[in-house]
Amino acid sequence: MSLLITAPEALTAAAADLGNIGSSIEAVSAAAAGPTTAVLAAGADEVSAAIAAIFGGQGQAYQALSARAAAFHQEFVQALTAGAGQYAAAEVAAASPLQSLLDVINGPVQAATGRPLIGNGANGAPGTGAPGGNGGWLIGNGGNGGSGASGATGVAGGNGGAAGLFGIGGAGGTGGASSTANGAPGGAGGASGLFTRGGPGGAGGASTLAGTGVGGFGGTGGAGGAFAAGGTGGAGGPGPIGGNGGSGGMGGISGFGGTGGVGGSGTIGGNGGTGGAGGAFAAGGTGGAGGFGSAIGGNGGGGGAGGLFAHGGTGGTAGGGTAIGGDGGPGGAGGLLFGAGGDGGSGGFGGGIGGKGGAGGIGGLFADGGAGGGGGAGNGIGGDGGPGGNAGMVAGSGGNGGIGGAAAGAGSIGGNGGAGGNAGTLVGVGGIGGAGGVGDLTGGNGGAGGHAGGIGNGGNGGDGGAAGTAAGDKGGKGGAGGSAVLIGDGGNGGSGGTGTTPGTAGPGGTGGLLLGQDGMAGLP
């Protein structure tokens, strides 16, 4: 069975265009009538008169045919216009009973709860900071929050409206900018229905107050439906001090946590927002990135906690700074039972000092810890790598430590590697220590290996970072190997970094009390 879809507005517009075309053709035909229907003979002889009569007859025949075509064209345009009117009337007739039925259904529900059963919520007016209206209980999207007005004191953005059972939560409104105070915060995103993502939080407003003004904080993302992710947090507003990003929204039962908002830029960058917590069967959200700082970069936001059976979110990457980089966000904790900890975020680049890597998240009762984030590079001192997260209390391996940030320039010092996380109490392997970063004067020290559980090997220590070859340049120390407890080998120590003076090798870890060998020392 074929279907016909008609748009009355399009038919009306087409009829008008056809009418204009017909008028143009009639005007051209009328202009050609005089020269073509009464052709003068070229001479007084019979041949010239006959030729003129032939051409004149052709012109008259064309005018007769043109008149018939114009009549047909006019009838076609009238039919098309009438058809468009009939379709439009049919739509109105069909809509009226449905609207009446909807009014009958929505009326009592609206009166009792202040919210219809079916229908979208209204958007907040721009510049007012008014909240968006809630969608219908059954079907309907939440309205978007209105933006806040800018001025001497900005107005906060309105919150997005909640959706119905089937619908999308409204977006939070943008906070207003301020010239004499801090920027206004963005509105929170609205909660969504069963299968849709939570509404995003609104961005914070800018601040132009010299020296001390702080950009507005981003709004929190809305909660996701039962089977959907939470909304993204709003970005922090720019200012002399950047505003922090908003937190990501909480996920539904099987929905991921929302991503944290990005920190605002400024002389000091704003921190990224924390990732939202995941549902029982879903991971936590990623932390927001830190904002760029013309002096100091913002820190990355922490990863959201995972659900019962899911891993924690990754920590946000730190913002760079022309002087000091921000620190990476810590990884989120893993789910209570089997969720691994999230990885830490990377430290930001610093024109002088690199930022530290974020710590790895702690694992659930039977899960591994997250890896530490790498330290940020610096032109003077590299950032230290983040420590690996510890495993859960019962079992699991510790997370690996993050690598120390490299340092450039004469006399620079590499960042230290992060320590490996410890294993679970009963069974598990210790995390590997992070390697030290490369430096000119001194290489970074390697991180120590994590300790094992009752059964398992200790983690190896990280290698020391390399240094230059000029007099006095010294390689970083190798990290110590982690120890075993009852059954298992100790971890090997890390090797010392190369340099004019090589770094000291790390010692090996102790073997298990019942069974196991001691780890070997690293190479000098």
For residue 21, is it within any domain?
yes
For residue 395, is it within any domain?
yes
Q: Which domain holds residue 518?
A: 387-524
For residue 235, is it within any domain?
no
| CATH number for the domain harbouring residue 78 | 1.10.287
DSSP reduced 3-state for 321: strand
The tens-digit pLDDT sequence of the chain (524 residues) is 455 555 666 766 776 776 677 666 666 666 655 665 565 556 666 666 676 667 666 666 766 777 777 777 777 767 767 766 666 656 655 545 666 667 777 778 778 888 888 989 999 999 999 999 999 898 999 999 999 999 988 999 999 999 999 999 999 999 999 999 999 999 999 999 889 999 999 999 999 999 999 999 999 999 999 899 999 999 999 999 999 999 999 999 999 999 999 999 999 999 999 999 999 899 999 999 999 999 999 999 999 999 989 999 999 999 999 999 999 999 999 999 999 999 999 999 999 999 999 999 999 999 999 999 999 999 999 999 999 999 999 999 999 999 999 999 999 999 999 999 999 999 999 999 999 999 999 999 999 999 999 999 999 999 999 999 999 999 999 999 999 999 999 999 999 999 999 999 999 999 999 999 999 999 88
Q: How far apart are CA 72 and CA 168, in angstroms?
A: 51
For residue 401, is it within any domain?
yes
Q: How far apart are CA 519 and CA 457, in angstroms?
A: 9
For residue 485, is it within any domain?
yes
- What single DSSP character describes residue 127? T
User: At CA 473, angle to CA 472 and CA 477, rounded to 5?
Assistant: 120
- What single DSSP character describes residue 486? S
For residue 499, is it within any domain?
yes
Query: What are phi and psi for residue 31, nearest 5 degrees?
Result: -65, -30
For residue 224, is it within any domain?
no
C-alpha distances in angstroms, 206 versus 22, 130, 510? 57, 19, 56
Question: Are 126 and 146 in contact, with CB atoms under 8 Å apart?
Answer: yes
Q: Which residues contact 371 (CB under 8 A, 6 or more apart)?
A: 331, 343, 344, 360, 388, 389, 399, 400, 401, 402, 431
> 116-138: buried (b, 16+ CB within 10 Å) or exposed (e) per residue?
bbbbbbbbbeeebbbbbbbbbbb
Q: How far apart are CA 429 and CA 266, in angstroms?
A: 43
Token output for 3: 């279907």
Using CB atoms within 10 A of its CB, is residue 211 exposed (0-12), middle (13-18) or buried (19+)?
Answer: exposed
Number of domains in the chain: 2
User: At CA 461, angle to CA 470 and CA 408, rounded to 5?
Assistant: 35
C-alpha distances in angstroms, 282 versus 230, 255, 417? 11, 5, 31
For residue 512, is it within any domain?
yes
Of 371, 368, 373, 370, give the one whose Cα is nearest residue 355.
373
User: At CA 473, angle to CA 471 and CA 476, rounded to 5?
Assistant: 155
| Count of other CB atoms within 10 angstroms of residue 414 | 37
